[in-house]
Structure 1
């Protein structure tokens, strides 16, 4: 499987959730794993994030439960869907027995910190040596055939395997796609998302707020929708916080594209604009918005990727948002990154010493075979769920989050998935 006795060197570009999860999954004897992160990792964006049952099973198998327990997880028992007027129209329970794991809510900062602690842990709970994390190490170029990455200061680092986990604005993706890179730039989706995180105590007395919206035991994700607008909301950080994401049509994407401008995709939000966008919705929703200050509100332009023609070249593979950025409408973004990490680890199982280029290419091909069709379908359905959720001219909610729940969550790893597909 390789040159006996020499260490298997792995570089992971990007120290977000995808990169850290992959570093943890790949830990094994005789492997040296380095994570290169362009920021100083001082803080992650404040927002709530979920790991769906398909990912919860994987983190348990990786031995991460003791680390994630410190991240004040909150188990979510289902969706409750409201129409524009605030009436409950559908319940979608999460059946732990059906999927073999829970849907768990985290504060993004807490989840990120727990994964970082696990990656560098030398407690003996996880196999192999602790991961080396290098911050302020921005990668500006990559040479896939020889496994070289180039840092902003000109330093060149070489590894047997390079994992591009550097997000939707991935530099590594450009080197994997080569001449095709320009055709697969991030796409404005026509949507923006207001993201707000508040102390739960600050919304307890909002008049008319349905009791189920604020309950934390069991926690429930609430969705209110009408036309092309929807709000997804729920508690986090063990019940201390309450977060909501409000989707609205993006009024600036078309103008920016006409000018050929690149944007930061993030700008301060305005409570007045947010309330105006949801005029005519249930009064309790507008009162919930009123509990936030302008400083609490951020506005993200939502972009995703079309399915790429390839994720691999030479000794390099793309994972997470670098490979398959998707809309947040199914809450599967982080979970699909966890699936990528598991797939890479599964097909590298048994490769301990320095692998040949052929061995690496064969493994990466298997990861692509196991992941591409599945994740592309989840991407497509995330787009579909972003379309208007009510019938034209009525307030009847047509969106059914339960429709793809079984496909998304009934997953037991890449090897099992490939086996199941071969039987069909």
Structure 2
């Protein structure tokens, strides 16, 4: 009987199985499209709808998206370019304003409705208008096991799929993670929960808020901070909706998430109680929300490995992070670009060793950077609460440069290979 490696070598082209049809999985499917590749995405849900919330792509990701020629698909999302950041204290006084000019980074910070972005990526992945073969998306295909060396995955019902490359993009609940890491690595409660709201802009008519405090129509990110609570808000979908995320420590909550779930229906009265003493205009916006969701925020510690055999972890499966820096989705696009770069030269029917070496280069280019952003996002969510835990010695301006100066995985890894300190390279904009 031939070995798995011998079976793979006898095939034409390159067969890729992507586990997970979220933003990370679909972005990777688009990045890897090629006339000689057969790409299958396995998604456990029916993919009827994506979570309704606003999401941003930072300049490091926007540059990647632009290079893929996705404008015809993303234009239908009615994206907004974020123009400024404003921070208020608990009494409602403006304490900081930064006009966002990302021209020096070569791309903008772009705001999307998450469901619109997901739909656009799905349409692009399966389109015949982009280079390469359209991607096959199989819904209701829950992966139950993975053999990372053979490149096989088994889905509900017992069917086994064989591939040259397996990409675990199955999120924070990843099934593939244990197969790759070799031991369970569960998501970690962070002590923070988030109320999420999405309001139609017309529902905010009549609010008595001075325009110099909050202009609902302007593409500006507004934050209100008080002690251990913060609210981030801004428009989306071409200015048709207004999104809000309100972060609270778990111990300050007046309700609990449903047992066994990280997501539950929230309570407007409990939300108002949690933010008592904040500006009256902000509480009035809360009162107009048609409904509110409640998320217990979790992340994972940096993993010791993302690669085993023919299999690699990406996105939240590899580096789930808190939303404080808005980098979760953007890091998934960086993962996709890295795979695009380092798998480009793989021959048809690659051996297990060839695949493994290419995937390890992806890991080498991505792990240090993603882990730093992951840790910084955690630290900014709960500053000072963990004595001695602050390991990232960058101030916010330095961190922005660290993010936005990124110019692709090969450039990043080349700098490391030459002995250049990556942090200094990114900060200098070289």
TM-score, length basis structure 2: 0.89
In 1, the alpha carbon distance for the partners of 2:20 and 2:232 equals 28
Query: What's 1:349 paired with?
Result: 344
The answer to whether structure 1 residue 267 and structure 2 residue 261 are counterparts is no
Query: What's 2:233 paired with?
Result: 233
The answer to whether structure 1 residue 38 and structure 2 residue 44 are counterparts is yes
- Of structures 1 and 2, the one with the larger relative CO (CA 8 A, separation 6+) is 1
Q: Deviations over 1:330-353 (max 9, x none)?
A: 010000000000001100112251
Q: Deviations over 1:168-226 (max 9, x none)?
A: 00001011122x22xx2100000000000001121242223554533444x11000001
Query: For residues 273-284 of structure 1, what are the structure 2 equivalents within 5 Å?
Result: 273-284=270-281
Decide whether the 8 Å contact of 2:216 with 2:242 is kept in 1: no
Decide whether the 8 Å contact of 1:212 with 1:220 is kept in 2: no
In 1, the alpha carbon distance for the partners of 2:302 and 2:274 equals 31
Count of aligned pairs = 403
* Structure 1 residue 408, shift from structure 2 partner: 1.0
Query: For residues 19-418 of structure 1, what are the structure 2 equivalents within 5 Å?
Result: 19-123=25-129, 126-178=130-182, 180-181=183-184, 184-208=185-209, 210-211=211-212, 213-217=214-218, 219-251=219-251, 263-293=260-290, 296-387=291-382, 401-418=396-413
Query: What's 1:18 paired with?
Result: 24
In 2, the alpha carbon distance for the partners of 1:202 and 1:419 equals 51
In 2, the alpha carbon distance for the partners of 1:278 and 1:252 equals 10
Decide whether the 8 Å contact of 1:20 with 1:115 is kept in 2: yes
In 2, the alpha carbon distance for the partners of 1:202 and 1:307 equals 42
Q: In structure 1, list runs of 5 or more residues that go unmatched.
A: 391-398
* Structure 1 residue 252, shift from structure 2 partner: 9.7
Q: Deviations over 1:279-337 (max 9, x none)?
A: 111111111111113xx200000000000011110100000000000000001000000
In 2, the alpha carbon distance for the partners of 1:71 and 1:270 equals 30
Report SS of the residue matched to 1:415. Answer: helix
Decide whether the 8 Å contact of 2:252 with 2:274 is kept in 1: no
Report SS of the residue matched to 1:29. Answer: coil
Report SS of the residue matched to 2:349. Answer: strand
Report SS of the residue matched to 1:380. Answer: helix
* 4+ aligned runs moved over 6 Å, structure 1: none
